[in-house]
Amino acid sequence: MKTKFNIYITLALVLVLGVSCSDNFLDEVKPIGQYDDSFYQSQQRVQAYVDNQYFDFFAAYKSPTSTVIGVYTDANTRLTEEQGGVQDYTNPGKLLNTPDVAKDYFGAKIGTGIINNAYTRIRECNNLLTDIDVKGASLDKTFRDQAKGQMYYMRAIQYFDLMRTYGGVPIVTSVMSPSVDDPAIKLPRAKVSEVVAQILADLDMAASLLPGNWDAANYGRFTKGAALAQKSRVLLTFASPLFNKNWDGSNERWQAALDAGLAAETQLTADGFGLYGGTIKDWDAMFLIDNVKCREAITVQLLGNSNADVTLNVNNNWEKGIRLPSQGGTGGISAPKEMIDLFPMKDGSRPTAANGYNDFTFFVGRDPRFYRTFAFSGEKWAYKENANAVLWSYRWVDNANKAYFNDLNTTSTSPAFVRKMTNTTATNATNYQYSPTDIMEYRYAELLLNIAECYAALGQTGNAVAYLGKIRARVGIPSTNNYGIGTLVDKYAAIEAVLYERRVELAYEGKRFWDVQRWMLYDNAALPGLSGGTVSKLGLAPINGTQRTGNYLQFKSTATAADPLATLRAGIVADPDAANFDTQLATLATFYNTNFVRATLVTPMDNVSGAAVSIKFNPNYYISGLNTTALTSNPWLLQTVGWNDATGGAGTYNYQE
């Protein structure tokens, strides 16, 4: 019997790397042709099948701010404080609640086609899991077990992203044939608890079958510790208010998430994983460890650096996107003021006037991670062709109020730009398009923060602070006053402290939206029949009603077309690696106060047709409805609460059970 499945892997894909593979990962792969009963007689062909799954899952993952398996766009990141610009889901002038505008991640009719969508990826996992021990009984057992472990892992994380997008979805664990009248394929939307149970079962199976480490040629494949760490993520999400109406009244889910986190920590520690290094230089350098084991990386997207890789779209596109034109990039990411003002002071305290924070000379006395997350005028930001490059990006106007920009970067809307995870030896000879920098999809630091959050929700504030202290101590924040965290008076303050630390440590790593979503932080409002109100309990301000704001760094006086500061700024540099960095920052602050003002943008960072608007994320957006294709192809499926179904009726599927 033949299944319609073709894999087009050739030697050209030697460097096609999902959260998967090193330079040697596909060295011996050949085209495997049709998938039939003889397929499992060849270990090479089965290995190619597994490797193709990595490709289908992760080939699009080329930027750390991108999320959602198989798709990997930065759409979710743009809904948070990390990047400005109004999207449909934050536009106060739009209300999205009809299936034609619901997310299409669900894919086509269950079990049909070979296109790369969520249920097709699940189908291909099911193919191997169903057949390998029967049709491939002659294959080496260790090989079969490891192949199955990788499929269980991938099926689990695919269901997790479906759950985070839609809540409960149909659970398909066998290979189904498309049919218009077979009742067996008419699977209903499962409860979220049932989806979670399936994910956990798959991850347990993965953990039982996968090694703690792979050899160098297979570095990047999923491991036992990664499977356990994913359980921590899943259970943390399931315990959070989005899916847990009793998050504040019952400890059961929080305890399960804590137990999973501690088990993952134990396993990963035994396997040689942990926080990388003990200084801020180490923290910065760990993002650039390529194609060899980094103890911080629980899962990692390995990327290539050749022209062939660009053709196959497996280069990191982050470096090119965040470098400014003056450095050979394509524009840069302007940091909203809300992100600039977020990071702690160097002693770990919050950035307030009382703690010495000045939002004009915002770079003075900050958390060491600030200088590795953002670049600003006067800071050293090197690249291969200029090891001593200093970033300068500012504006001035002449007597006729005509504006000029020193680096011709007229799109700059902030005095600071994202620089995290950039390589100071990257070349701009090809505009950084061949960047090979790997992406750590799951870091050990995130696991520690998961554990801290569980301790906080359980009211064990001392343990929460201890885990936060590990994160801060590693980058050089002194231990005084609990690493600047102070005394947390109750579990709500502890949860807020953890969420704050996640914003700093994991900034621009694609994690913020999921935290905002699972804690429902846009507003206290909730849909009828669902719970909300977490924002007030945590002592936070709602994101709704706020703006991502920007400003020009502008020369104080009027000038001609010639750069008025070209000579004056020569020799001004703040180098985070310099021994006298604090002195350099003080000199730079004097330069700012002498020469610059903060000017209002011509067009606000958050605008609709040029007019400033505030964020409005409606409560039905937390969990998407099914789109028209999914509903009409599978008419037995219920629509989500807050969304209309294909006939205009109100959705009834409640993801909070």
The model's pLDDT over 576-604, given as tens digits with 9 standing for 90+, comes to 999 999 999 999 999 999 999 999 999 99
Integer CA distances (angstroms), 378 to 80, 386, 572, in order = 28, 15, 6
Alpha-carbon span 497 to 487, nearest angstrom: 10
Look at 284-288, 375-379, 405-409 and tell me which has the smallest mean pLDDT: 405-409
Integer CA distances (angstroms), 499 to 303, 456, 502, 507, in order = 30, 10, 5, 11
Residue 16 has pLDDT above 50, yes or no: no
Q: In this structure, what DSSP letter does residue 540 have? A: P
Q: What is the reported pLDDT for 17? A: 27
**What is the tens place of the pLDDT at every residue in 454-495?**
999 999 999 999 999 999 999 999 999 999 999 999 999 999
Which tokens in the block code for residue 154? 């991938």
In the chain, the N- to C-terminal Cα span, in Å, equals 42
Q: What is the reported pLDDT for 511? A: 98
Alpha-carbon span 205 to 173, nearest angstrom: 14
Give the SS3 label for residue 604: coil
Would you say 100 and 628 are in contact if contact means Cβ atoms under 8 Å apart? yes
Which tokens in the block code for residue 27? 């060295």
CA 634 to chain centre: 31
**DSSP β-ladder status, 596-600 and 607-608:** unpaired
Give the SS3 label for residue 25: coil
Could you tell me if residue 552 is left (phi over 0), alpha (psi between -120 and 50 degrees) or otherwise beta? beta
Give the SS3 label for residue 174: coil
Q: What is the reported pLDDT for 432? A: 87
Q: Is 285 exposed, middle or buried (0-12, 13-18, 19+ CB in 10 A)?
A: middle
**What is the tens place of the pLDDT at every residue in 496-515?**
999 999 999 999 999 999 99
Band of pLDDT at residue 183, cut at 50, 70 and 90: confident
Which tokens in the block code for residue 9? 């892997």
More confident residue, 383 or 177: 383
List the one residue out of 255, 281, 108 whose CA is nearest residue 627. Answer: 108
Amino acid at 315: N
Q: Is 440 exposed, middle or buried (0-12, 13-18, 19+ CB in 10 A)?
A: buried
Mark 641-656 as b/e (b = at least 16 C-beta within 10 Å). Answer: bbbbbbeeeebebbbb
**What is the tens place of the pLDDT at every residue in 208-256?**
999 999 999 999 999 999 999 999 999 999 999 999 999 999 999 999 9
CB-CB neighbours of 422 under 10 Å: 24
Alpha-carbon span 481 to 215, nearest angstrom: 43
Band of pLDDT at residue 386, cut at 50, 70 and 90: very high
Band of pLDDT at residue 522, cut at 50, 70 and 90: very high
Q: What is the reported pLDDT for 100? A: 96
Residue 355 has pLDDT above 80, yes or no: yes
**Where is 596: in which H helix or E strand?**
strand 596-600
* Longest alpha-carbon distance in the chain: 83
Q: What is the reported pLDDT for 178? A: 66
* pTM reported for the whole predicted model: 0.93
Domains of the chain: 3-94+102-301 (1.25.40)
Residue 310 has pLDDT above 70, yes or no: no
Q: What is the reported pLDDT for 22? A: 37
Alpha-carbon span 275 to 293, nearest angstrom: 13
Mean pLDDT of the chain: 91
What's the angle, vertex CA 78, arms to CA 73 and CA 81, rounded to 5?
145
Which tokens in the block code for residue 70? 């198989």
Would you say 542 and 523 are in contact if contact means Cβ atoms under 8 Å apart? yes
Look at 19-23, 142-146, 548-552 and tell me which has the smallest mean pLDDT: 19-23
Q: Give me the helix-helix angle, 141-166 and 118-135, nearest 10°.
A: 160
CA 407 to chain centre: 30
**Where is 441: in which H helix or E strand?**
strand 439-443
Residue 7 has pLDDT above 60, yes or no: no
Would you say 304 and 417 are in contact if contact means Cβ atoms under 8 Å apart? no
